[in-house]
Amino acid sequence: MQIFKIIFGVILSAFILTILLRFSLSYEEIGESSREVEILMGLKKTIEDVYTTGISTDFDLGSEDLVNFYSPPNLVTSVTDVNLDPVPTLFVPGERISIHRGEYDLGWWKFYFVHALPEMRIIFVPLGTSETVWKIAENITKYLPSTENTDAKVRFGVGCNETGETQTYLFLNWERDYFIRTVLTYLFVEGYEFVQCKPIEGYRIITISETPVDADFQVVPIDDDMGYVYVRDIQEGSKTYLYKNPLDIVSILLGGSKLYDYENERFLKELSIASSLASRESSLLRIKARNPDCNIIYSRFTQVLGSLKSEIEEGNYRNEDDMKELNKRIRESSGIYQELEEMGC
């Protein structure tokens, strides 16, 4: 009987211990999940704050694996999906990221968006000495963040020079503004010529050429505003994208087709709304304008904004002719708005 009691006691103790252990593990898992959700909600709030204030900041995710992938506008994680709307966000997962606000400025309207990026190294490979090629490198850089006031850096360089069998990367961790103002200007004026770079781990290489070459990520311009991006990807295969502005190129570089589609849909939707509002405002101001010249310019501005809205509604951002017409209307609207400012209207 005593032996039976001992055996029963051991079994009961083991059963209770197992239950307590499972409860403890479940409690720990719940606690860890709660902590991860708190981090994600903090990230969303920080992105919204930066979008509102324009003040850049760093953010620690704790683990680069916290976010499985970004399917705009959703951060997909193992605990919950976080929707980043209404803020247009160019996000790349990382353990520590820096968050910045960028803008696409038409004068009469600005499209604001947010970069949320880990440490990143970008090398431009300008093939040829034409001003168009170097201007594209400058414009792409302008639509990436200046990280001088944050710890998670996005740095820029140029390559490659060929010496015998070796390639030299002219890469010195330049910050964005210095890279645009000094480095690119100097290399262009001095007529530096470069060769294609071999892939190097940890670096994003952007090849720019007026004719297609064999490269993993290549920008081929049609004119100063538009062109094509050719991307060679092991998983997705080769893809071709039409770009209508440098923000399209940046979106493809950071997030491929999903981010490209998302950025275009957001940009064109907000541009359509903005053109409607600006058109109504212009009509009201035209009526009140005392200067006859202002009246005429406001009338032209209203007409162009109407045409712009029509192009957005009828056009396809993957169609070259549609985007040429759209860019034409955008340039016209910005030019007329500048006339209004210069006339003091």
- Range of weakest confidence among 91-100, 155-164, 322-331: 155-164
Q: What is the pLDDT of residue 8?
A: 42
Flag whether 78 is in a domain. yes
* pLDDT class of 144 with cuts at 50, 70, 90: very high
* One domain for residues 129 and 217: yes
221 pLDDT exceeds 90? yes
Q: What angle do CA 110, 116, 121 make, to 5 degrees?
A: 110
* One domain for residues 68 and 135: no
* One domain for residues 157 and 199: yes
Mean of pLDDT over the chain: 86
Kindly report the backbone phi and psi dihedral angles of residue 202, in degrees, each rounded to the nearest multiple of 5, phi listed first: 90, 0
Whether residue 219 contacts residue 237, with contact meaning beta carbons closer than 8 Å, is answered with no
* One domain for residues 207 and 280: no
* pLDDT class of 344 with cuts at 50, 70, 90: confident
**End of a domain among 73, 89, 105?**
89
132 pLDDT exceeds 80? yes
Q: What is the pLDDT of residue 28?
A: 45
Q: What is the pLDDT of residue 125?
A: 92
Output the 3-class SS for the chain: CHHHHHHHHHHHHHHHHHHHHHHHHHHHHHHHHHHHHHHHHHHHHHHHHHHHHCCCEEEECCCCCCEEEEECCEEEECCCEEECCCCCEEECCCCEEEEEEEEEECCCCEEEEEEEEECEEEEEEECCCCHHHHHHHHHHHHCCCCCCCCCCCEEEEEEEEEECCEEEEEEEEECHHHHHHHHHHHHHHCCCCCCCCCCCCCCEEEEECCCCCCCCEEEEECCCCCEEEEEEECCCEEEEEEECCHHHHHHHHHHHHHHHHHHHHHHHHHHHHHHHHHHHHHHHHHHHCCCHHHHHHHHHHHHHHHHHHHHHHHCCCCCHHHHHHHHHHHHHHHHHHHHHHHHCC
95 pLDDT exceeds 60? yes
164 pLDDT exceeds 80? no
168 pLDDT exceeds 80? no
Greater model confidence, 38 or 6: 38
Q: What is the pLDDT of residue 169?
A: 59
170 pLDDT exceeds 70? no
- Range of weakest confidence among 261-275, 288-302, 322-336: 288-302
Q: What is the pLDDT of residue 15?
A: 47
Average pLDDT over residues 240-249: 96
Q: In this predicted model, what pLDDT tens digit does every residue of 254-284 receive, in sequence order?
A: 999 999 999 999 999 999 999 999 999 988 8
**End of a domain among 161, 191, 221?**
221
* One domain for residues 64 and 23: yes
Flag whether 233 is in a domain. no
Buried b (16+ CB within 10 A) or exposed e, 93-128: bbeebbbbbbebebebbebebbbbbbbbbbbbbbbe
**End of a domain among 171, 196, 221?**
221
* One domain for residues 126 and 199: yes
CA neighbours closer than 13 Å in the CB half-sphere of residue 112: 14
Flag whether 210 is in a domain. yes
* One domain for residues 126 and 212: yes
Q: What total number of domains does the chain contain?
A: 3
* One domain for residues 182 and 125: yes
Kindly report the backbone phi and psi dihedral angles of residue 256, in degrees, each rounded to the nearest multiple of 5, phi listed first: 65, -150
Flag whether 339 is in a domain. yes
Q: In this predicted model, what pLDDT tens digit does every residue of 16-32 receive, in sequence order?
A: 545 544 544 444 444 55
Q: How far is CA 43 from CA 97, 110, 262, in A?
A: 10, 24, 20
* One domain for residues 57 and 135: no
pLDDT > 70: percent of the chain: 86
* pLDDT class of 166 with cuts at 50, 70, 90: low
* One domain for residues 274 and 332: yes
Q: What is the pLDDT of residue 234?
A: 65
Whether residue 61 contacts residue 74, with contact meaning beta carbons closer than 8 Å, is answered with no
Q: What is the pLDDT of residue 11?
A: 53
Flag whether 108 is in a domain. no
167 pLDDT exceeds 80? no
Average pLDDT over residues 174-182: 93
* pLDDT class of 291 with cuts at 50, 70, 90: confident
Q: What is the pLDDT of residue 5?
A: 47
* One domain for residues 211 and 150: yes
| Domain range enclosing 136 | 121-221
* One domain for residues 125 and 206: yes
Flag whether 239 is in a domain. no
Q: What is the pLDDT of residue 251?
A: 96
Q: What is the pLDDT of residue 27?
A: 41
Flag whether 8 is in a domain. yes
47 pLDDT exceeds 60? yes
Q: What is the pLDDT of residue 129?
A: 84
Flag whether 107 is in a domain. no
